[in-house]
Each structure stands twice: as structure tokens, then as C-alpha cells.
Structure 1
Amino acid sequence: MMTEPLILREDRAGWTILTLNRPDKLNALTVPLFRELRAHVVALASDDAIGCVVLRGAGKCFSAGHDLGDIASGEDVPSRGWHSETLRMMERLRKPVIAAVHGHCYTGALEVALACDFIIAADSARFGDTHAKWALTPIWGMSQRLPRRVGTATAKRLMFTADMIDAAEAVRIGLAEYMVPAAELDAEIERIAARIVANSAFSHAANKRLLEATDGGALDAGLQWEVMENEGVGPDMRDRIAAFTGKRG
């Protein structure tokens, strides 16, 4: 009997959906699930047919977070920083990666979502960092990515209180980019992925590199980096301009 994959990949027209697939466990995150996620990330890194990745959860939610049972019993982790390394690999894909969140997105799950380029929230989404509730400390990136997304004071508030916030509050503080009705999440994923892959994959990769290299640095240094280290024009630049001017002419 074949075991159901813990991560499902569904390729669309130039983009793909990766789905966390433990719906009976609220997509709680385990080492085997991360192994499959890592394998998909490695495959996507060299797949030029895919220009955008959407990460979401099956069933009732995105993910309730790190599987507490696994934590309590001890995990067979390849190395101390292996989970964090896996998320960094996903974050550094040379193509946009979007988290589409509905329902629960707590602690480890929030760390996964934060490693995506941005978050779209269904109005059913709930976010929180509960490390302090369980006497845990982050090791998958919360202390680094959350303050970069929402600011240090707001990150401290969320981390110290372990409060849950709804989708509207997530948008207000900049954690999520925008909110859509849960019933429209699938359609919104289709719309935004189509708009992204219609644009230049060369530009997406170059822009991610520029943004990453200068994040948090001094403005003048960043401006100099943009001038000196930008990757110029893409191989499809002339074709894109010709197609546009041809339509106008």
C-alpha cells in the first residue's frame, strides 16, 4: 500500500502549488514532511518551466505548527539547523514564493510562511507565535524574519504575549499583504500567479537578489549596489518590447 505524500505538487500553466498534506493532523510539521518539502525545493531550483510557487495547506488550515508530539519525543533531525536551512533554501529560490494561508498558521507554520516572499490571507486565517507558551525558543527563523516583516516592537508583542491575531490584524501590521474571503482564495491564487508568470522570470530572479543583498542596509550603499551589481536586461527584453510596441502600432 502506497503512503500518501506529505507534500503534494500540482503544476499549472508556468507555476506550481505545493500543498502541506497532513489534513487529519492539521498539517502539523514533522521531519518527514520537511524532507519532502526540501526535495521539492531542490527540484524547483532547477525547473525553469516553473516561474512561481504557491505554498498552502490541505483541509481546514495552512498548518497548526510544529508537531508537539514530535518535539516531546525527540526528533531525528539531520543537523541542528536543518529545518532553518530548508526554509532558507526555499526563500532563496530564484522565483517568487507565495504563502496562501487559511485557518491556523501558528509558530513553526508561521516561520514557514515568513520564509515565503509574501503572504496572502484568507479571512479565516489566524496567526500566532506560541514559542513562549511552551517554553520554547525559535530555531526556524522567527526571531529574524518576523521583525523584518512587522517591526521589532510588534514582533516582541506577538512573541511575548503568544496572542493569536486574525487576518485583518495581520494585514494591518504588514504580516500579510492582503486578505480575501476564504471562498475566493483559490481564485485569487490563480489570478496572482498568472500575473507573476506573465512577467519576466529574469527580472523576478534579479529583483529577489537585489532585495536580499541590500535588506536592512544603508540607503547609499544599497543604491550603489543596485548600480554596480544589477544584472542588466534579460534575454526576452527585446521580444517583450517588440510585442508591446507591435500591439500599439
Structure 2
Amino acid sequence: MSELVLRSDEGGIATLTLNRPEKRNALNLALWAELDAHADAIAAAGEAIGVVVLRAGGPAFCAGNDLKERGLEAPRKHYQGSIVTKLAELPQPVIVAVQGGCFTGGLELALAGDIIVAGESAHFADTHGKFGLVPIWGMSQRLPRRVGEAKAREMSFTGLPVSGREAARIGLANHCVADGELDAAVRKLAEAIAAQSRHSVFAYKRLYREQADLPLNAGLAHEVFASAGVAPDFAERVARGF
């Protein structure tokens, strides 16, 4: 049986590829189990991995939850949602590359990323309402934090798709590029992150997450008192001209 999530590492970049293209990378329990194991391994690797790229094989990023498995018992309570959160809370920044459809559960998975890069073929939609479902993997929390309350309500109430270009305009995606340039654009960002101090980048990600809902003054105080301090290789990096 083929792996449903492929992992490759190069230059401090771990790339995870959803590998169920014949099903438009629909999220079944077997795929979730592999994604969970990869997330644990990457977290355990610590600073050996500087950045994670999440992408998908085939023309679509992810059609969402595999509804044919609806009703099957998951290994633990809140299984899928906990894996999305685990990805979102990795110490390493996560870049998500999206081409083609990115629907509902797939969108919730993409929203675990710190940076989303869309190809021009990308289209994002929240179709919970189409199937009479309500979110339990984070859509109602992460989507408005990404695009704002009003746009999130529009997407969730209507189920209408948002193009890659529109996603970049509203802040759902950081960039939209031609499909043929998607891998190169993501690689450029990943290499830039991997070249930075792991100490600094990991500390930034933690601070951004912890301060997300704090008032300004509380956030400023938290930045000072929760600081990770200067990296051990500060002098060495200065000497090298970083």
C-alpha cells in the first residue's frame, strides 16, 4: 500500500505531500494517522528542521473530509481537530502550497499553516452548510482570524468559492502565483526561513501564537517577560555577516 503522506527533507526543510490524488486527497483516517505521525516526528526533530512545507500531489489540494468514512470511530476524541492543532502549533513555521480545490476540511488543514501560497487554479470554500455539517476542526476560529469576521461569515454562510487571486487579496493566502511557479515560490520562502536563526524563528512563532488575543499593553509585556533571549550562536552569526 502506498504512503498517503510522503515526507522528504532537504536543507532543513521538511516537505509533507498529501498522496491520495485519485480521491482529490480526501482526508480519511489512514491519511490522518500518517499526518499525525509525521507531525510528532517533526516536532521531536526540534531545530534540525527549520520549516515545514505542506503540499499535495495531483491537481487538487484537498477535497475535504472523506464522507464515505462518516460514522467510523476515530482513534481518539476530537482526533482530526487535534491533528490540525498539532500542525498549527509545531515549533517550526508551516508553509502550505495550494493548487486546485481546497474545501472545508482541506481548508481547515490549510489554515494550520503560518503562510499559505496559492496557485492561480486554487479555489477555497467552506462547504459545511452544503452537507448539513458544523465545524469541529477549527474553521469558525481560524478562518475569521485570517480573513476577518465579515468575510469569514460570507464564506461560511454561502459556501461560495474564493479564487487564489481573491484569497491573496483578502489575506487568506499570502501570495498567489501561476501554478507553474508554485513550487518555486514556496521553495524560495522555505529557504529564506531555513536560513534564519531557528532560535529566533521558533521564538517568533511562539510569541505570535501566545499574543494573538492579548491587548497591546499585555502583549508588549509578554514579549519582554516571555523572551527566549539571544541565540547561542549570535556572535558566530554576526561574524559570518548574517
Please tell me the TM-score bracket, short chain as reference: over 0.9
Task: Give the match for residue 198 of structure 2.
Answer: 201
Q: Does 1:85 align with 2:106?
A: no
Amino acid at match of 1:153: A
Equivalent position amino acid for 1:61 in 2? A
Alignment partner, residue 17 of structure 1 = 15
Match of 1:32 among 25, 30, 33: 30
Residue in 1 aligned with 2:112?
A: 115
Equivalent in the alignment of 2:136: 139
**8 Å contact from structure 1 (residues 95, 205) kept in 2:** yes
Contact 1:108–1:140 under 8 Å retained in 2: yes
The residue type equivalent to 2:59 in the other structure is: K
| CA distance in structure 2 between the aligned counterparts of 1:80 and 1:176, rounded to whole angstroms | 30
Q: Where in structure 2 are the equivalents of 1:1-249 lying within 5 Å? A: 3-47=1-45, 48-71=47-70, 74-244=71-241
What code does the residue aligned with 2:152 have? A
1:47-85 per-position Cα deviation (integer Å, ceiling 9, x unaligned): 1321110001101111111112112xx122123311111
Contact kept in structure 2, 1:31 and 1:76, CA below 8 Å: no
Partner secondary structure for residue 65 of structure 2: coil
Read off the aligned partner of 1:126 and give its amino acid letter: H
Partner Cα distance (1:220, 1:13) in 2:
38
Q: Percent of pairs identical after alignment? A: 47
How far the C-alpha of 1:217 sits from its partner, in A, is 1.4
Q: Which amino acid aligns with 1:221?
A: A
CA distance in 1, matches of 2:169, 2:145: 15
Determine helix, strand or coil for the equivalent of 2:241. Answer: helix
Deviation at 1:243, TM superposition (A): 0.9
* Gaps in structure 1 of 5+ consecutive residues: none
Whether the aligned pair in 2 keeps the contact of 1:129 and 1:159 (CA below 8 Å) is: yes
Q: Match of 1:46, SS?
A: helix
Q: Could you state the TM-score of these two structures normalised by the residue count of structure 2?
A: 0.97
- Runs of 4+ in structure 1 off by over 4 angstroms are none
Consecutive unaligned residues of structure 2, counting only runs of 5 or more, are none
RMSD value, Cα: 1.0
Name the stretch that deviates more: 47-56 or 95-104. 47-56
Give the deviation of 1:95 after TM superposition: 0.8
